[in-house]
Structure 1
Amino acid sequence: MTIKQHLVLLLILIGIFNTSCQKKSGAELKSAVDWSDFLLRNDLVWEKMPVKWTEGAFVGNGILGTIFWKEANSLFFEISRTDAYDHRNGTSIYTSRYRMPNGNFSLGLESIEGGQGTMRLNLWNAEVSGQFSNETKKIDFKVLAHAIDEVLLFEVNVPEGETMNFSWHPDTIQTSRFSERGKKETAPYPAQHIEEMKGVNVSLADMPEDEMYNTHGRGVGQFATAWKIVEKGNGKYLVYVTEQYSYPGTTAKKIAVELVERAVQEEINSFVASHRDWWHQYYQKSFLSIPNSRLESFYWIQMYKMASATREDRPIIDLAGPWYMRDTKWPGIWWNLNTQLTYSPFFVANHATEGSSLINWMWKYRENLEANAGGNGRYAIGRSCPITLERPCPTKDYEVGDLGYALYNVWEQYRLTMDEDLLRDKLYPLIKGHYLFYMDHYVEKRKDNNYHLKPSGSPEYTRDGYPAPADCNYNLAIFKWMLRAMIEADQRLHLKDPEVEQVKNVLANLVPYPMDEAEGFMVGENQKFAYSHRHWSHLFMIYPFYEYTYDDPEQGAIIDQSLSHWLSYSEAYRGYSWLAAASMKAMKGEGNAARDFVLKSLDHERFPAQPNTLYIEGAPVIETPLYGARAIQDMILSSYNNTIRIFPAVPDNWKDAAFENLRADGAFLVSAKRAGGKTQFVKIESLAEEPCIVKADFNGEINAAGSREFKLTPLGDNKIQIDLKKGESVILYAGDKLDFTISKVDILDTANYWGVKK
């Protein structure tokens, strides 16, 4: 053979060994998940009655909620509405635009002398049931927040011959921050008074327009809690409750009464069935099962919280969510980490619809975001704000990138759905407006011909002795992400935006991240990371932005160096600090370390996850447990650098795991099963015309099953490229087994970890 013939033969052999076209007909994924049974092992269970907020049971429907526990001889139900914010002059969430308390109901237990109680939060049906009893008598109760209607339902069964004691206790409508009370501008509103309208009780809080309340020029508002008790006979009672808030205007009372009337008139089985149907459909959008019951249960409780706290057409989630504590330090929305962590698990879990409240709310109040930035098509926001997103962003020495950080959450929503309407109509305009605010106030070109950031704040690091540095890595990483996002959006949408030429120029000449040879990424120019604080803001180019990854060995070395240095200053860490460490360890594939950091977060010596998985840091805050769900997702499925990573960081003792219909970058629905420590199969469904590269640890030769022959191209490092087109799905597997069944895995520890135990 000639040299030319040898080369041709060699090329043919290379092609044979590096690509394969395989098809197995008749193969399909089967779901063997008995959802009711599966979620049963993840329910919160109270073997004795909770006695405080951190132990309480909770329900919510995206705007209305209650959390309850036992106080003295009563069950105490705190009633909350997530958009009930004050409207006084000013923008402070402490003195003028704070989240407002409302009141509580109590269910008397006095007749059950010496009684004990138990409860269960049934996740599948999104309702709490319980009983309080002694040797001779008992009170049974159920509580739900209707999934669709803004109504809470209490079903109570008391001993025959006794009357139910269910009473309302209104709060004083005033700032929830003790240090601000008593000031002239925070005078409490007139006391609530109870009226009756069409047989419905209404506790009314009028909010006058008056200089006395610092509401002059602002208009009037109204707060109304309505309820009706319906006696069904044989000791059974139904109580329907709603809370409504109107501003501007005084329509809350009318709306509240109408909602209660409509609920009362609906047949009870139909009312409950529509509630359950909504939740059943919600849960089945994705599935995840791991052998660590404590973490599996924790994950599913967060899925429950997500839909309890918001919906597509309901308000953005603030720090309290639907389970408000009337004396809180955090009666608003925070943008330097909290909002972003709160929304972090929605999109991977295939709950983009519910998570859309983030972008929808920002778009609804975009005029206020523009006013925060001084107008003229610029957008920005300060660190914290009320529900209307009013908080000017300072034009120097400030954490300018907070809005951009939140827009990254929405960018992830876009990338996991490839919803170009979302990108074109809402996301791109907001990114561009925030970019322009940066350019106006924080970007300068120096003599080195590079673009630099003027001094700006790194969240919770900039303080006395540590002034705002130039080229602050927090704001620089956000700015750099925005530049890349604008370029990509312009290309995908064919916008031909003339501003993008300047964007490309800025990106090409942007200053490198300030770094220290021994310690990795710094806080900013001439400012090392030198004292402990709970944020990892100087490491955002690692996570969540995945600009630096272990795919590049040189970058991997910098990540190790920077992460090690940050972890060496852990004295001030909070729960989410350890979760960030878990996600960064998951990037490297260190499953044991990732798991241990998640557990370290839950078991924090000062700020642990509470028995009901809620979290307190000075006062209740909702973000940390929800971010815990994202950290678990990062161990099971991650996608960046155009690669879908299957079980990227599973601990050694998680031999079995399974998930179905989680979302990956590029709008892929991904399902997979792991058994005996190896990936058994992966199903990928393409919802957009994006390239598909998968990284998985199959044991043996990889085969493909689907409706046609698929071309598999090995890329090294366990990566395979698949010629998957939009609307198609493929199953990858090793060996000859064609039983592609997703089901729950056996757990290694005890079920129903969360709740209050004896």
Structure 2
Amino acid sequence: MSCPNPRHDLLYEIPSKEWNTGAPLGNGQIGVMVWGDGNPLRLTLDRDDLWDLRMPPGPDDPSFTWQNLKKLAQEKDWGTLNATVERNLNPPVPTPTKLPLGRLEIAFRGTSSNTSVFRGRLSLKKAEFGVTFGGKRVNVFVCAHAPVVVVECFGESASPLVSWRSFHDLNPGQAASLGIQPSDSLQMNGSTAAVQRFPDGTTAVVAWRCAPSAGGFVLRCTVATSADGDDPIALAEDTLRGCASAHSLKRRHREWWSDFWSRSSITIPEKRLETLWYYGLYKLASSSRPGNLPANLQGLWVTDGVLPPWRGDYHANMNVQETYWPVYATNHLEIGVPLLQWIENVTEPARQRTRNFFGWDGVRMETALASNGAPVPGWGTVQYWPGAATWLAHHLWLHWRYSGDRDFLREKAFPFFQLCFAFWEGYLEKGADGHLHVPLSHSPEWNGNLPGAWGRNPVIDLSLIRNLCLWLEESARELHLSDEVRARWKVVAESLAPYPRDPAGGLMLMEGVPLSESHRHPSHLMPVFPMHDISVEGTEEDRKCIEVSLAQLERMGMGEWTGWSFPYVSLIASRVGRARMAEYMLKLYIESFVLPNGCHANGDWRRNGICQYHYSPFTMEAECAATSAVTEMVLQSWGGTIRLFPAVPQTWRDASFHGFLAEGGIEVSAVREFGETTDVVLCSRERVEARVVGLRGDAQWRGTASARWENGMWIVALAADVPARGQCRTRMTDKPKATDTRTRNVFGLRAWE
């Protein structure tokens, strides 16, 4: 497969004059944003573990106890409760926070700022940024297999002028507020290093070396920190000294990306959405690799010279979840491993905090966390929300469902499910109606951090608890555990309060709180997506609930939505079969909430009139959610059924995908021609029976022990590692709409921008 192809690249007809329109590169540990006109060319550097993790002492507040909060909730003294939580969970302290590192500036001798001859291209296929200006050709990449940034320059005989500008140089006020001093410069055996010492004891070293090469020169740069060893200066020097040739580094780098892109691909007639699919996957693969931290709010592209928005934290009431949704169906479970490992690493500290505050064993996590799992100051409503750990647990469940790794289920996922359940078992309260209720919570981001945000029985919490019991039950069955072990989960599942509904039957946000105004966080639709305990394939009551709930969402409008809301709602629309709505949400997203370089801006920065927010702080979760949303349009496998092209508009006459992954670990490739699925290939690691919807009943199958047509569905017996292929004869009912191969590249900077 040649995808992604040049049409998906970022094209620069003019140079990027600002960091937030630059070209992003990364390898899971080191990130680079390339920008500037060559006089100089700027490389803003980032490293995944560069954090200030100092924890200022919290308020010594004897009123901040679970018993007191519960009492205030029972009395409905929301003002006192909110002030207490806000005072303790949102103190005005600057740390913990992700830190900017600084930028490398490369000035090429004899180069002017003549932008008329500037041309740049970020190749998604190669993960390289190539640029020409002033008779010079420069190529930049971050080695996929080594902590090295490579800058190749052709047509330049003299070495460039290279300088380092630290966070302190770029923003002395913010740096001083954290106690960060200027960096030190050091010469060492042909290399130059900038040594930055941070107040928490961390040392970061940026080192680089220029060397002549055929027709020009090569600059190699690395970033080492004290997390790598006791002497990061020596480690950085050793890395540069041991570097292979630029040619060898580039060959191995391209091999890694070639292998990555060979796993899955997609072709759809709406080329802007096709580009979204590749771009989001590129960004996630660039910022999440095994052995490193998972992608935070900004991935590996922290703001140039400014502390990042929302401290660059791990936000577990939607952001982390959206960021990692694509890894499953796109068949890239490996780039989800950092999140799974991080969840394991932060579990024990969260468990201890749960014991200390609530008084019983289990795991509940604050919503906003630092890289070490410590809570980050933020809105009290957000930080208190008790559902964050359980929503993170959904990723462990998805990993099991798509990988079929029983060791992972037994050793990692199931124990975490049990800890989440232990928290809820202690937290839920039995009411006079005999049901178990969530006594204090909020629906994410509803009413911000105001007293009116609090209540009980949010739909999102009830859905998470209900599904947690399901995961435990299915895990126990898979692991052959006794019925006695399952009894506790069954009691909770059967006794849990029903979802709060309005008089028309639609889902409310929480008990007594309908969706009464525009709201950016559609978490009250959790039972529809990402869960599926209410589905269009369920009862008539389910379908009515979905229709009424979506009608209410539409009536309230998009005024309070932000960029990430649109891919999220697209996913909901696909799940319920509203293909046009799913497509339209993504079109609105790309037209109004995406910066020229593809980065998600959160606000309607072009002022297209879509919502009231016009700011542009970069976070990457929406980019990844857009990839997931496009995937959901062409393949769904929830509930054990593989659905082919379940939410594609009728105008998508021709489409295909290759190498996707369905639940149960079944690889799926499919082709749609003239508005019908004509070809599907299934391959499983184990002998299984697959249920397939979306292929005509007259299909012919090969490579399968049996394939039978029942009630509009194929039941296909798959042998282990043997591809099974089902094909239908094409019915040319009309002329298909041809793909416009001339469609211009979506992202980049044009001369008129």
Query: Aligned with 1:548: secondary structure?
Result: coil
- Match in the other structure for 2:608: none
2:173 aligned with 1:192 = no
2:109 aligned with 1:125 = no
Q: Is the 8 A contact 2:37 2:113 kept in 1?
A: no
- Match in the other structure for 1:532: 518
Query: Aligned with 1:532: secondary structure?
Result: coil
Q: Deviation per CA, 1:644-681: give whole Å up to 9, x if none.
A: 10001111221111111101111110000011111111
Q: Is the 8 A contact 1:93 1:385 kept in 2?
A: no
Q: 1:206 to 1:293 in 2, by over 3 A?
A: same
Q: 1:548 to 1:205 in 2, by over 3 A?
A: same
- 1:730 corresponds, among 710, 721, 724, to 724
- Match in the other structure for 2:111: 112
Q: Deviation per CA, 1:127-148: give whole Å up to 9, x if none.
A: 1111112xxxx22101000001
Q: 1:582 to 1:749 in 2, by over 3 A?
A: farther
Q: Is the 8 A contact 1:100 1:173 kept in 2?
A: no
Q: Is the 8 A contact 1:515 1:522 kept in 2?
A: yes
Q: Structure 2: which 5+ runs fail to align?
A: 58-90, 603-615, 732-737
Q: Is the 8 A contact 1:330 1:621 kept in 2?
A: no
2:578 aligned with 1:580 = no
Instruction: Work out the CA distance in 1 between the residues paired with 2:482 and 2:740.
Output: 54
Q: CA deviation at 1:531?
A: 2.3
- 2:254 corresponds, among 276, 281, 285, to 276
- Match in the other structure for 1:757: 750
- 2:225 corresponds, among 245, 251, 262, to 245
Instruction: Work out the CA distance in 2 between the residues paired with 1:671 and 1:702.
Output: 15
Q: CA deviation at 1:204?
A: 0.9
Q: Is the 8 A contact 2:168 2:175 kept in 1?
A: no
Q: CA deviation at 1:198?
A: 3.4
- Match in the other structure for 1:387: 371
- Match in the other structure for 1:562: 549
Q: CA deviation at 1:350?
A: 0.5
Q: Is the 8 A contact 1:611 1:755 kept in 2?
A: yes
Instruction: Work out the CA distance in 2 between the residues paired with 1:284 and 1:200.
Output: 37
Which residue identity does 1:253 align to in structure 2?
I
Q: 1:645 to 1:478 in 2, by over 3 A?
A: same
Q: CA deviation at 1:714?
A: 1.6
Which residue identity does 2:97 align to in structure 1?
Y
2:313 aligned with 1:335 = no
Q: Is the 8 A contact 2:705 2:717 kept in 1?
A: no
Instruction: Work out the CA distance in 2 between the residues paired with 1:391 and 1:497.
Output: 37
- Match in the other structure for 1:687: 685
Instruction: Work out the CA distance in 2 between the residues paired with 1:418 and 1:395.
Output: 37
Q: Deviation per CA, 1:94-152: give whole Å up to 9, x if none.
A: 6222111111111225723352311111222211111112xxxx221010000010110
The number of aligned residues is 687
**Comparing both structures, which one devotes a greater share of its residues to helix?**
2
Query: Aligned with 2:643: secondary structure?
Result: strand
- 2:153 corresponds, among 144, 147, 156, to 156
Which residue identity does 2:743 align to in structure 1?
T
2:431 aligned with 1:446 = yes
Instruction: Work out the CA distance in 1 between the residues paired with 2:93 and 2:234.
Output: 29
Q: 1:531 to 1:72 in 2, by over 3 A?
A: farther
- Match in the other structure for 1:15: none
Q: Is the 8 A contact 2:102 2:170 kept in 1?
A: no
Instruction: Work out the CA distance in 1 between the residues paired with 2:6 and 2:165.
Output: 34
Q: Is the 8 A contact 2:206 2:224 kept in 1?
A: yes
2:461 aligned with 1:475 = yes
Q: Deviation per CA, 1:339-392: give whole Å up to 9, x if none.
A: 000001111110001111111111133322323323775222112111001129
Q: Deviation per CA, 1:380-436: give whole Å up to 9, x if none.
A: 211211100112999999321111112212211211111111111111111211221
Q: Is the 8 A contact 2:642 2:662 kept in 1?
A: yes
Q: Is the 8 A contact 1:84 1:99 kept in 2?
A: yes
Q: 1:261 to 1:94 in 2, by over 3 A?
A: farther
Q: Is the 8 A contact 2:637 2:663 kept in 1?
A: yes
Q: 1:229 to 1:510 in 2, by over 3 A?
A: same
Which residue identity does 2:104 align to in structure 1?
F
Query: Aligned with 1:727: secondary structure?
Result: coil
- Match in the other structure for 1:714: 710
Instruction: Work out the CA distance in 2 between the residues paired with 1:324 and 1:330.
Output: 11
Q: CA deviation at 1:79?
A: 0.6
Q: Is the 8 A contact 2:275 2:746 kept in 1?
A: yes
Which residue identity does 2:478 align to in structure 1?
R
Instruction: Work out the CA distance in 2 between the residues paired with 1:492 and 1:174.
Output: 55
Instruction: Work out the CA distance in 1 between the residues paired with 2:372 and 2:413.
Output: 18
2:596 aligned with 1:611 = yes
- Match in the other structure for 2:658: 660
Query: Aligned with 1:348: secondary structure?
Result: coil
- Match in the other structure for 1:321: 299
- Match in the other structure for 1:77: 43
Instruction: Work out the CA distance in 1 between the residues paired with 2:299 and 2:621.
Output: 9
2:40 aligned with 1:40 = no
Query: Aligned with 2:52: secondary structure?
Result: coil
2:587 aligned with 1:599 = yes
Q: Deviation per CA, 1:162-181: give whole Å up to 9, x if none.
A: 442222112229999x8x87
Q: Is the 8 A contact 1:140 1:156 kept in 2?
A: yes
Q: Deviation per CA, 1:172-222: give whole Å up to 9, x if none.
A: 29999x8x876xxx53223210112333222111235xxxxxx5xxxx321
Which residue identity does 2:392 align to in structure 1?
A
Instruction: Work out the CA distance in 2 between the residues paired with 1:736 and 1:675.
Output: 7
Instruction: Work out the CA distance in 2 between the residues paired with 1:517 and 1:748.
Output: 51
Which residue identity does 1:152 align to in structure 2?
V
Q: Report which stretch shifted further, 459-468 or 444-453.
A: 459-468
Q: Is the 8 A contact 1:192 1:204 kept in 2?
A: yes
2:398 aligned with 1:412 = yes
- Match in the other structure for 1:3: none
Instruction: Work out the CA distance in 2 between the residues paired with 1:397 and 1:54.
Output: 29
Q: Is the 8 A contact 1:298 1:629 kept in 2?
A: yes
Query: Aligned with 2:97: secondary structure?
Result: coil
- Match in the other structure for 1:204: 195
Q: 1:72 to 1:107 in 2, by over 3 A?
A: closer
Q: 1:688 to 1:556 in 2, by over 3 A?
A: farther
Larger radius of gyration: 1
- Match in the other structure for 1:19: none
- Match in the other structure for 2:636: 638
Which residue identity does 2:364 align to in structure 1?
A
Q: 1:747 to 1:556 in 2, by over 3 A?
A: farther
Which residue identity does 1:555 align to in structure 2?
D
Query: Aligned with 1:381: secondary structure?
Result: coil
Instruction: Work out the CA distance in 1 between the residues paired with 2:382 and 2:33.
Output: 42
Q: CA deviation at 1:71?
A: 6.3
Q: Is the 8 A contact 2:381 2:453 kept in 1?
A: no
- Match in the other structure for 1:5: none
Q: CA deviation at 1:286?
A: 1.0
Q: Structure 1: which 5+ runs fail to align?
A: 1-32, 209-214, 738-744
Cα RMSD (Å) of the superposition?
2.6
Instruction: Work out the CA distance in 2 between the residues paired with 1:340 and 1:114.
Output: 42
Which residue identity does 1:406 align to in structure 2?
L
Q: Is the 8 A contact 2:224 2:236 kept in 1?
A: yes
Q: Is the 8 A contact 1:147 1:278 kept in 2?
A: yes
Query: Aligned with 2:650: secondary structure?
Result: coil
Q: 1:748 to 1:635 in 2, by over 3 A?
A: farther
Q: 1:168 to 1:351 in 2, by over 3 A?
A: same
With CA pairs under 8 Å and 6+ residues apart, which has the higher RCO, 1 or 2? 1
Q: 1:372 to 1:131 in 2, by over 3 A?
A: farther
Q: CA deviation at 1:685?
A: 1.1
Q: 1:113 to 1:194 in 2, by over 3 A?
A: closer
